[in-house]
Structure 1
Amino acid sequence: MDAVARRAIRGEGTTEIEWSRWPGIARLPVIEPQELVPAGARAVVVAPHPDDEVLSVGGLLALLADCGRPVEVIAVTDGTASHRGSTEWPVERLARTRPRESRKALHCLGLAIEPARLGLPDGGLKELRAMLTAELVSLLRPGDVVFTTWRQDGHPDHEATGEACALAAASTGARLVEVPVWGWHWSRPGDACMPWQRAFRLPLSEEAVRRKRMAVKAFTSQLRRDASTGSGPVLRATTVQRAARPFEVVFL
């Protein structure tokens, strides 16, 4: 099967019960927030869509807020393609709603910050990777730790954002940390397509998990059925369940 086709996002995906029963995650080496973002460094989360910052590293952001590390969030798109063909959620409404949801989610995590919004087209980042890379180079600093979606995550926007971040980090002297979001959906426990050899497990406190779950709930546009199309929530039940894990996994 073609590698790209294999990463297609279909159905409900691998359940959280399946992942929780796999001993491989417990065997991953542990990394602490202060190791990921050392003193004097800035954490920069580059999110392809509003909600990716929380689904990827929401727990880490809560921990960084508690220890006073500087945090920046860069919103690549405003997520206006999440409800194609919907009259309940037209592009104009999503453009207003999703950034507002993101701000609310960050507040739940303990961060009173306004994301930098690049306004690039949702669903069109693959063709604009060079432009995105240039934008990121202008925003990053040497010593930044850049968190973004994995370059083989399965969503074209996630992959293009990861690729642009890798190029921009190399150009500016920042450090790249990739995080799987949809990779958990299409892959299976022990899947050789996941780079377990460079995976680390970040334990989360009960309070960080609680705040992350609250932050996910802020994205109400993604959690409701669409009456105009009959479609279910954009964020599947499996995705929401994964957000309640007492840990996050990052690729270094």
Structure 2
Amino acid sequence: MHADAFLAAAERLPVRDLDALTGGTGLVIVAPHPDDESLGCGGVMAAAHARGQTVAVVIVSDGCGSHTHSALYPPDKLRALREQETLDAVAVLGVPPEAVTFLRMPDAGVPSSGPEAEAAAARIAEIAVTTGAGAVCVTWGHDPHCDHQAAAAIVRMAQGRLGAIRSYAYPVWGWTLPEGTEVGNAPTGLRVDVGAHRSAKAAAIAAHRSQTTDLIADDPTGFRLEPQMITRFTGDFEIFIALDEPTS
């Protein structure tokens, strides 16, 4: 199935109650970079918090690839900034700082296989099991960014350790794939109505100031979320594509 048709079908997935995603317990959000958690899953995090369900967040990379030419924000300072932005963002959604784990893998260099990837998979599975999560959500494996693909691969590695915990994908950059890109079978899964939490989600996205404003002004090549991108992710629904069951 081509990407445009796949994503159009994803936008027609059935709208289900939050508990259909979380199993009535909670969830783990795996984000390749600081900000992906708020873009893809800010609404369900706020909704889960409102129901008293546990939310854990895992940020896979150190986020240092967004402004590689900034003298004012060298890597260590940029990493600290982006981690604080993440804590500020998820706090708006009701997630406490102790529920956030930073794996600090290299931005644009997250491994999709090998010992480091296996260790990350084990850590994610441990968090999911110990928090009693009903679902693990990660970026879509066809998102056109190497770290998004690697994060998806890591969660697939973790599936054998998750038992009955379901795993889902949320698309972030998939919308930018060229028409005609083959992505496999039609999607299954669900959408969750997060309309009641749109303002909180928008505030969480805005908390990532390094990605949404001119906070880092000395790197003209630095990354910036475009307004239309933010608009796409502050609608009434969030998409969760069911991942294949583990084969072993």
Structure 2 residue 90 is matched with structure 1 residue 106 = yes
- SS of the aligned residue for 2:119 comes to helix
- SS of the aligned residue for 2:105 comes to coil
TM-score, normalising length: structure 1 = 0.81
Q: 1:23 to 1:44 in 2, by over 3 A?
A: closer
Question: For residue 169 of structure 2, what is the aligned residue in structure 1?
Answer: 178
Please give the residue correspondences for 1:155-194 in structure 2 after superposition, counting only pairs within 5 Å.
155-173=145-163, 174-186=165-177, 193=183
Structure 2 residue 46 is matched with structure 1 residue 62 = yes
Counterpart amino acid of residue 130 in structure 1: E
Counterpart amino acid of residue 152 in structure 2: G
Q: 1:187 to 1:62 in 2, by over 3 A?
A: farther
Counterpart amino acid of residue 186 in structure 1: L
- Identity level (%): 30
TM-score, normalising length: structure 2 = 0.82
Question: For residue 213 of structure 1, what is the aligned residue in structure 2?
Answer: 202
- SS of the aligned residue for 1:140 comes to helix
The structural deviation recorded for 1:237 is 2.3
Structure 2 unmatched ranges of 5 or more: 243-248
Q: Deviations over 1:182-230 (max 9, x none)?
A: 1123256x9763754314222122x301100010000001112453232
Structure 2 residue 135 is matched with structure 1 residue 145 = yes
Q: 2:22 aligns with which of 17, 23, 37?
A: 37
Does the CA contact (< 8 Å) of 2:66 and 2:222 recur in 1? no
Structure 2 residue 123 is matched with structure 1 residue 135 = yes
- SS of the aligned residue for 1:126 comes to coil
Counterpart amino acid of residue 205 in structure 2: V
Mapped partners of 1:56, 1:185: distance in 2: 15
Structure 2 residue 79 is matched with structure 1 residue 95 = yes
Question: For residue 238 of structure 2, what is the aligned residue in structure 1?
Answer: 248
The structural deviation recorded for 1:168 is 0.5
Mapped partners of 1:64, 1:194: distance in 2: 31
Mapped partners of 2:178, 2:192: distance in 1: 20
Question: For residue 222 of structure 1, what is the aligned residue in structure 2?
Answer: 211
- SS of the aligned residue for 1:61 comes to helix
Counterpart amino acid of residue 131 in structure 1: A
- SS of the aligned residue for 1:213 comes to helix
Give the root-mean-square deviation of aligned CA atoms.
2.7
- Between 71-80 and 105-114, report the one with greater CA deviation: 105-114
- SS of the aligned residue for 2:238 comes to strand
- SS of the aligned residue for 2:30 comes to strand
Counterpart amino acid of residue 77 in structure 2: R
Structure 1 unmatched ranges of 5 or more: 1-5, 8-13, 15-21
Does the CA contact (< 8 Å) of 2:27 and 2:133 recur in 1? no
Does the CA contact (< 8 Å) of 1:224 and 1:232 recur in 2? no
Q: 1:107 to 1:139 in 2, by over 3 A?
A: closer
Q: 1:91 to 1:33 in 2, by over 3 A?
A: same
Structure 2 residue 215 is matched with structure 1 residue 231 = no
The structural deviation recorded for 1:51 is 0.9
Q: 1:95 to 1:25 in 2, by over 3 A?
A: closer
